[in-house]
A = this chain, B = another copy of it.
Amino acid sequence: MRSAKGGQNPAGSASNASPPGSSDLTARARIRDAAAFRFAVEGFGASVRAIASDAGVSAGLVMHHFGSKAKLRDACDENMLATIRRLKRENVAEAAAGQSLFDKFAAAEENAAVLGYVLRSMQDGGPLAREFIDHMVDDAVGYSREGVAAGVIVPSRDEAARARYLTLSALGALLLEVTLNPPADPADLASIVRGYLRSSYLPMLELFTEGYLTSRRALEDCLAYMSTPP
């Protein structure tokens, strides 16, 4: 029965999404968090009724507060983006090539919902995914620039293209892995991500420090091809 008349917080403030159970929030906020969790767990096909049930309210109230399912999702996106920005700000120190962000995510169980939501959004191609990835690419460009200046990263002929390539590869591989091996219990998502990162460290670092091809032939062919106007 869950007493639905809890504390009347001013709402509005961005709090991190979490599994139902976190009460003491406005009904609106509880609905938003429940929606984010459902979306993370079972994708954006989750029904309004299920969300309402998780939040301990009626389906009608969901519509009353958000107008439509699409607007509810928009609210989730907005809130997630705020949460992500906060997490990034908190971890801005030790980010290396955009990779440790996910490591950080994977380490904190509490952020499983955020991670799941982002993955679902990528799977869906939603607006949040675009923005999230653009941010990641921008960050990667910055890290690369610093690394090259410091002499620890080899320079590229097209830093932007490399940053995008590396970011899409890392995120895409993670997305694919999780899609292929979805956790039985959504709470296990973080550990799956951790496992995947663990399994890819060695081949990634080998590739990053020793390369993959012994000859420069393919690269030079590519450069020659690209410098001749077709």
Contacts and interface: CB of A to CB of B under 8 A. Distances in A.
The 8 residue pairs across chains A and B that have the minimum distance between CB atoms: A172-B172, A172-B176, A165-B203, A172-B173, A162-B203, A208-B212, A125-B179, A168-B173
10 contacts: A122-B180, A151-B214, A152-B214, A153-B212, A157-B206, A158-B202, A166-B207, A202-B222, A206-B219, A210-B211
Nearest to A218: B205
Give this chain's copy count.
2
Interface string A122-134: 1111000110010
Contacts of A212: 153-154, 166, 207-209
Contacts of A13: none
Chain A interface size, as a band, is: 35 or more
A121 to B, nearest CB: 10
Which residue, A165, A171, A199, has most C-beta atoms of chain B within 10 A? A165
A216 interface: yes
Given A175-B175, A205-B219, 7 more contacts: A161-B199, A162-B203, A165-B204, A169-B173, A173-B173, A206-B219, A207-B208
A184 interface: no
Interface in A164-191: 164-166, 168-177, 179-180, 182
